[in-house]
Structure 1
């Protein structure tokens, strides 16, 4: 029986096949991360380029996706009676400490009847109640902000809770319905830091132009795993071949 086993050692073909499939998957994942890296860098470059351009002075019409993150200057007045709260926000201080809270969105009325939902910035959790912070600026105001077209809701993001006035995505049309407002434009405006006093709440200038970008590290990780798997598979196959050779030699005595 030992002689027959020595003559027919276990084949490495299944091992190489399984390892080859795994290596291909790892390489595909690494390549996908490189593509994501290129996409993310292009996205951040587009945002920074848009912010650096001259501010628009007229309310844009039509599809605003092509002018996302452009600065827009408007003159009008805030609605002090209506306010929306965007959940899951944070503010990083000068010492690197993060603070959790809300973004406050307030309707801004223009002379022609149009209404813009303005993200006025961050407030801590304990200042959600408007009575606990400075009142909304009254009278005619000149503001500047960044144009933000609404994006799709992520599959892990909860539905907006209109009854509790807790929002997880910025949806100007839904906010208009909840507030009984007409003439709301299909985008929001992120107030820039220069449009709000630095020590007041809400605190503007919270738009993040730099996005988390770890795709290069992820790509290197997947490629490294592919390389390690190739080496380990080769070493294991060689060890099996040597063991089979020794068994054959012992069988032939």
Structure 2
């Protein structure tokens, strides 16, 4: 039985609620897609900045503490000279590239470097595997006397949603939090940045530096296409649903 004008009017009114819900979902999906496109541009700019600064030669001296500007200075290649305070090192849980297809699990060794003027810079000397957590198992790598370190400047690591919170009381560290580590070790006059040591080999082979990745993954375009694709599917499904709701024949009433 063909729907009358009154029936179609009622059917159109019945589409208001699902239509509003579909529009809200569509707005969210499109917003996520455009956000991923914006993140793509940000990631590309970051990768370009890291590559440019990682190739700078010769390395520069670290900036003055009060002149540190994360936007301008982070990822700059620098060289610092001083003496490692190995008794103040902190071990931060982490992963680093290992054998092909496998990540090396262990701890990043953050050691204060004391300079001639008494100031301190935390140096991420690199990763040691879990079995070398005890410093007695890697004494060769505890460099004594004045030494120079080359690497890239980084700010404190921001804890993400899925990373546990560090517990200074138990000396459990999950992020490279400069201020918290300095406070836990009783250090003062510490730089607001740290140095990620390059791949220069340490005596004994550990810690292993050079873990800062320049080839950061940039999958935001694929993510954007995914969100836009879901949005297109939503439009298609709702269009079919609305057309059928308005144009399907009226079912005859049972006698």
Give your verdict on TM over 0.5: yes
Kept in 2, the 8 Å contact 1:55–1:70? The answer is: no
> Residues 206-245 of structure 1 correspond to what in structure 2 (within 5 A)?
206-244=211-249
Q: What is the rounded CA distance, in whole Å, between the counterparts of 1:238 and 1:101 in structure 2?
A: 59
**How high is the TM-score relative to the length of structure 1?**
0.85
Q: CA deviation at 1:192?
A: 0.2
* Aligned residue in 1 for 2:15: 13
Q: What is the rounded CA distance, in whole Å, between the counterparts of 1:174 and 1:3 in structure 2?
A: 74
Kept in 1, the 8 Å contact 2:3–2:247? The answer is: no
Range moving further from structure 2, 90-99 or 55-64: 55-64
* Aligned residue in 2 for 1:172: 178
CA distance 1:5–1:149, shift in 2 (3 Å):
same
Q: CA deviation at 1:5?
A: 8.2
CA distance 1:93–1:151, shift in 2 (3 Å):
closer
Q: CA deviation at 1:154?
A: 3.5
Q: CA deviation at 1:18?
A: 3.0
Q: Tell me the C-alpha RMSD between the 2 structures.
A: 2.6
1:129 aligns with 2:128: no
Q: CA deviation at 1:182?
A: 2.8
**How high is the TM-score relative to the length of structure 2?**
0.85
The number of residues matched between the two structures is 245
Q: CA deviation at 1:38?
A: 1.0
- 1:26-83 deviation line (CA, Å, top 9, x unaligned): 1121111111111111112111112122244433111241111111112222113221
- 1:202-241 deviation line (CA, Å, top 9, x unaligned): 1000112333322111111111111111112222222233
Kept in 2, the 8 Å contact 1:144–1:195? The answer is: no
Kept in 2, the 8 Å contact 1:106–1:120? The answer is: yes
Q: CA deviation at 1:126?
A: 1.8
Match of 1:81, SS state, is: helix
1:37 aligns with 2:7: no
1:201 aligns with 2:206: yes
Q: CA deviation at 1:191?
A: 0.6
Q: What is the rounded CA distance, in whole Å, between the counterparts of 1:233 and 1:57 in structure 2?
A: 59
Kept in 2, the 8 Å contact 1:134–1:201? The answer is: no
1:79 aligns with 2:85: yes
Kept in 2, the 8 Å contact 1:134–1:200? The answer is: no
Structure 1 gaps of 5+ residues are none
Kept in 1, the 8 Å contact 2:79–2:148? The answer is: yes
Match of 2:117, SS state, is: coil
Q: What is the rounded CA distance, in whole Å, between the counterparts of 2:180 and 2:28 in structure 1?
A: 42
- 1:164-214 deviation line (CA, Å, top 9, x unaligned): 2222222333322222223221111111002536x7121000112333322
Range moving further from structure 2, 15-24 or 217-226: 15-24
CA distance 1:95–1:59, shift in 2 (3 Å):
closer
Q: What is the rounded CA distance, in whole Å, between the counterparts of 1:42 and 1:69 in structure 2?
A: 13
- 1:63-117 deviation line (CA, Å, top 9, x unaligned): 2411111111122221132210111x11222422112111011111111211111
